[in-house]
């Protein structure tokens, strides 16, 4: 038995699918399956019920997974503690970010953080809120940067930045000539949204519904860039977070970004980490630096 096999088991429990678990662990499916069979032989119990349609944990497997999760958290804490002892402001920090933040925020923060924390190696993982939150709680990530509130037990939330949304329309849309809009302008507009799983979808949908916008049922996007292209093709309008707006607006791109006045829709971005983390002091320093960079 080794730590790697426990990670494989926990991944299967989370994904309930051998292929997705193997992908998450960066191994082939046969390798993962073989190692789990060896783990079952070592423990002398059947951990996984295998059928043609789905993967389920046995009752014994559920108990073993719960213990494995605790072990992995402690192993990660031990690694973090050793790094903290070697260099309080150095070592490795594993950070998760949601896809609607990562590609727009990273160019703004990586170089300044490298200059301020020269001995710190930030390892980045991009994933939806549910995925990176699970990884944080299980100790596979040290911190996550996402939209608040997260409201998870034993998780510290540090607000970084309140980001306004802009009203994105096609260049030939009737409202493209306006200099600004209010949330009332959402009424009867077909609003393009991200697919399920993105927290930005839920935020935009709440704004849309409260102001009688109409959720588009014809299209859902996997990224903000896909949303941008759909807007340019005049398939609907959308709410675009400020960080995703090009620094130099290209008027040939076919999209206009109009600021809201009055009740401005927004989201709050924050850095979160486990309250029990041995690197809490470093993460607090990192959060303060991020806040200064974003404000």
Q: What is the DSSP string of 56-93?
A: EE-HHHHHHHHHHHHHHHHHHHHHHHHHHHH-TT-EEE
Same domain, 168 and 202: yes
Q: How far is CA 67 from the centre of its chain?
A: 26
pTM (predicted TM-score)? 0.72
* Alpha helix stretches (DSSP H) within the chain: 3-15, 18-25, 29-43, 59-86, 102-116, 129-137, 199-210, 224-232, 280-294
pLDDT at 86: 66
- Cα 166–171–176 angle (5° rounding)? 55
The pLDDT value given to residue 56: 83
Cβ–Cβ < 8 Å for 182, 229: no
Residue 38 CA, chain-centre distance (Å), reads 33
CATH number where 25 lies: 1.10.10.10
Q: Based on the number of CB atoms within 10 Å of its own CB, is 234 exposed (0-12), middle (13-18) or buried (19 or more)?
A: middle
- Say yes or no: 213 and 194 in one domain: yes
pLDDT at 248: 66
Among candidates 115, 89, 135, which has minimal Cα distance to 273?
135
- Domain membership of residue 85 (yes or no) is no
Q: Domain with 140 in it: what CATH number? A: 3.40.190.10
CB contact at 8 A, 290 and 163:
no
Per-residue tokens: 285: 């320093």
260 and 206, same domain (yes or no): yes
Instruction: For residue 75, report the phi and psi dihedrals to the nearest 5 degrees.
Output: -65, -45
How far is Cα 94 from Cα 56, in angstroms, rounded to an integer? Answer: 30
If one counts the domains in the chain, the total is 3
DSSP conformational letter for 265? -
* Residues 8 and 149 reside in one and the same domain: no
Same domain, 192 and 221: yes
Residue with tokens 């998760």: 96
pLDDT for res 74: 79
Q: Are residues 238 and 277 in the same domain?
A: no
Helix (H, G, I), strand (E, B) or coil at 218: coil
Q: Are residue 54 and residue 184 in the same domain, yes or no?
A: no
Question: What's the pLDDT score for residue 210?
Answer: 83
Q: What pLDDT is attached to residue 95?
A: 94
Positions of the chain with pLDDT under 50 = none
Q: What 3-state DSSP class applies to 17? A: coil
Contact predicate 134/24, CB 8 Å: no
Q: Is residue 225 located within the same domain as residue 169?
A: yes
Whether residues 204 and 250 fall in one domain: yes
Which structural domain, as residue segments, surrounds residue 208?
162-267
Contact 199, 269 (CB under 8 A): no
**Quick one: 98 and 52 in the same domain?**
no
Same domain, 49 and 175: no
List, for residues 106-122, the tens digit of each pLDDT value: 999 999 999 999 988 89
pLDDT of residue 246: 83
């Amino acid at each position: 038995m080794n730590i790697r096999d426990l990670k494989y088991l926990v991944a299967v429990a989370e994904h309930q699918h051998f292929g997705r678990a193997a992908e998450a662990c960066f191994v082939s499916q046969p390798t993962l399956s073989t190692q789990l069979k060896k783990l079952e032989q070592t423990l002398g119990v059947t951990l996984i019920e295998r059928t043609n349609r789905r993967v389920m944990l046995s009752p014994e497997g559920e108990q073993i997974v719960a213990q494995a999760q605790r072990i992995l958290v402690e192993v990660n804490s031990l690694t973090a503690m050793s790094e903290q002892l070697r260099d309080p402001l150095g070592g490795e920090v594993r950070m998760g970010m949601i896809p609607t933040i990562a590609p727009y925020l990273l160019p703004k923060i990586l170089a300044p953080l490298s200059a301020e924390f020269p001995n710190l190696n930030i390892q980045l993982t991009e994933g939806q809120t549910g995925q990176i939150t699970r990884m944080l709680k299980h100790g596979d990530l040290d911190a996550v940067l996402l939209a608040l509130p997260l409201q998870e037990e034993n998780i510290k939330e540090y607000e970084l930045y309140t980001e306004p949304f802009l009203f994105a329309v096609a260049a030939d849309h009737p409202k493209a000539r306006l200099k600004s809009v209010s949330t009332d302008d959402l009424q009867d507009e077909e609003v393009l949204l991200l697919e399920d799983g993105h927290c930005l979808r839920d935020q935009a949908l709440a704004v849309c519904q409260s102001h009688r916008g109409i959720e588009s049922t014809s299209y859902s996007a996997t990224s903000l860039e896909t949303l941008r292209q759909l807007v340019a093709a005049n398939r609907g309008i959308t709410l675009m977070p400020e960080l995703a707006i090009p620094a130099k607006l290209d008027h040939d791109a076919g999209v206009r970004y109009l600021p809201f006045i009055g009740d401005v829709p927004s989201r709050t971005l924050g850095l979160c980490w486990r309250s029990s983390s041995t690197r809490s002091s470093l993460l607090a320093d990192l959060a303060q630096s991020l806040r200064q960079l974003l404000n």
